[in-house]
Structure 1
Amino acid sequence: MLDALEVVTTVVVGVMVGVEFSVAFVVNRILDALPEDSAQLGHAHGGRMLGAVMPVWYITSVVLVAAWAVAGWHQDGTGLVVTAGALLILSVVMSLLLLVPINNRNRTWTPENRPADWKQQLNRWQRYHYARVAVIIAAFTSLTAALA
């Protein structure tokens, strides 16, 4: 049973890391290359779509890692699992404090109502997102190391 939990947790966290990495280094660059209105509309749509999915994914990841840590408490690698959990919790805190406020504004913007500094706000979101991606990559690395 623990083996299955380890695999499911690693896959769920790994796919989440892949999605967030893709947003940071592929999707945002594609959107930023579009003409101004299209870029802003694409970012707003992405904010609505991923803003609905990612909170569930992040919380599920934290719960799975916590379950793994509890179920495998006396096994080798538990310290790495706990570290991964702490990093995932940090990513949730970063999201709530830094990224979600910007995303909540961005997802309502249209070319008619966006603020004058919309590009600066999106650039700030992207910088915070790079930091969050680094944190969740570290968490995923800890999980995979715990399997070894």
Structure 2
Amino acid sequence: MLDALQIATTVIVGLMVGVEFSVAFVINPILAALPDDSGQQARSHGGRMLGAVMPVWYIGSLVLVAVWAAAGRSQEGVGLVVTAGALLIVSVIMSLLLLVPINNRGKTWTPENRPADWKEQTNRWDRYHYVRVAVIVAAFTLLVTALS
């Protein structure tokens, strides 16, 4: 049973990392290259879509890691799992304090109502997101290492 939990947790966290990595290094650069207001409109739509899914994914991943740490507390590598959980907590805190406020504004923007500094806010979100991606990649790496 613990093996299934470990594998499911690692897969779910890995998929989350893949989505967030893709947003940072594939999707957003593509959107930035779109003409006129298309990129901003696409980011607003993406903010609405992913903004609905990612909170559940982040919290669900954290819960799974916590269950893994508790269930495997006597196993070798549990320190890695606990550290991965701490990193996921950092990513959730970063999200709530830094990224979500910008995303909540950005998902309502249209070419008619966006603020004058919308590009600066978008760039700030991107910088915070790069750090968050690094944090969750580190957490995922620890989980994979704990499996071996």
**TM-score tier (shorter):** over 0.9
Task: State the secondary structure of the residue aligned to 2:37.
Answer: helix
Q: Count matched residues.
A: 148
Which stretches in structure 1 are left out of the alignment for 5+ residues?
none
In 1, Cα distance between equivalents of 2:10 and 2:20: 15
Residue 46 of structure 2 aligns to a residue whose secondary structure is helix
Where does 1:1-148 land on structure 2 (aligned, <5 Å)? 1-148=1-148
Computed over aligned residues only, the root mean square deviation of the Cα atoms, in angstroms, reads 0.4
Give the residue type in structure 1 aligned to 2:92. Answer: V
- Contiguous gaps of at least 5 residues in structure 2: none
Distance 1:103 1:20 in 2: 14
Q: Tell me the CA shift for residue 36 of structure 1.
A: 3.0
What SS is found at the alignment partner of 1:108?
coil
Per-residue deviation, residues 82-141 of structure 1 (Å, max 9, x unmatched): 000000000000000000000000000000000011000000000000000000000000
Instruction: List, as ranges, runs of 4+ consecutive aligned residues in structure 1 with deviation greater than 4 Å.
Output: none
How far did residue 35 of structure 1 move? 1.5
- Secondary structure of 1:116 counterpart: coil
What is the TM-score normalised by the length of structure 2? 0.99
Secondary structure of 1:133's counterpart equals helix
CA distance in 1, matches of 2:81, 2:93: 18
Q: What is the TM-score normalised by the length of structure 1?
A: 0.99
Identical pairs, percent:
76
Task: Provide the secondary structure at the position in 2 that maps to 1:48.
Answer: helix
